[in-house]
Amino acid sequence: MAVSRLLAAAALAAAALVTAAAPASAHWSDLGAAYAGSARYHHLDRAQADGYGLLTDAQGIACIDQPGEGGMGIHYVRGDLVGDAKVNAATPEALVYEPRRNGRLRLVAVEYVVFQDAWDAEHSRPPKLFGRSFELVGAGNRYGLPPFYELHAWLWKFNPSGFFNDWNPRVHCP
């Protein structure tokens, strides 16, 4: 119980610090839901217990980076959430972890993902959260996935390239 309170307090403190870096156009209720919904996943074992599994790209690479732009980190994804045609700030489809020098992983961001076909079958516009439209990642992407919409939110680590930017120059893959 004390650990839960400590995590909740840490999440609120982090939210207070990090939301200062979030753009003014972000919807604060969505951001609050995102922080609250992801705070329990600072411990990877909790994410795995809730069905998040390791995602690798088509080459089998787990830690995703882009030389010259930065890194994303290691994604853990809930396929059942990706496969639906819904987006919800409190339940991100992916959790993004940064590999640390000690071998542990640190939660740094969340990613919202929905397959284009599923979304477009029920909606006339791309998905939107935090006042931001999702980016479309087309066929032939590095993951070997069908086209999908995605939006990153760097909730747990400052991103000097922008709160919603895909790449964070402060994240490095080994």
| Domain ranges (residues) in the chain | 2-153
* 130-148: pLDDT as tens digits: 999 999 999 999 999 999 9
Confidence (pLDDT) at 27: 76
Q: Which amino acid is at 94?
A: A
Confidence (pLDDT) at 19: 40
| Nearest residue to 149 via CA among 138, 136, 162 | 136
In the predicted structure, residue 13 carries a pLDDT above the cut 60: no
Confidence (pLDDT) at 28: 78
Interatomic CA distance for residues 53 and 82, integer angstroms = 12
* 71-113: pLDDT as tens digits: 999 999 999 999 899 999 999 999 999 999 999 999 999 999 9
Confidence (pLDDT) at 51: 98
Average pLDDT over residues 11-31: 54
Interatomic CA distance for residues 114 and 130, integer angstroms = 16
69 CB-near residues (< 8 Å, 6+ apart): 161, 167, 169
Confidence (pLDDT) at 21: 46
Q: Which amino acid is at 95?
A: L
Q: What are the CA-CA distances from residue 123 to residues 75, 91, 128 (Å)?
A: 27, 20, 11
Q: What are the CA-CA distances from residue 141 to residues 132, 146, 147, 149 (Å)?
A: 22, 8, 8, 12
In the predicted structure, residue 20 carries a pLDDT above the cut 70: no
* 25-83: pLDDT as tens digits: 557 789 999 999 999 999 999 999 999 999 999 999 999 999 999 999 999 999 999 98
Candidate from 16-20, 96-100, 127-131 with smallest mean pLDDT: 16-20
In the predicted structure, residue 169 carries a pLDDT above the cut 90: yes
Which phi and psi (to 5°) does residue 58 adopt? -65, -20
Instruction: Yes or no: say if 65 and 74 are a contact pair by the CB < 8 Å rule.
Output: no
Instruction: Yes or no: say if 73 and 169 are a contact pair by the CB < 8 Å rule.
Output: no
Confidence (pTM): 0.85
Confidence (pLDDT) at 9: 39
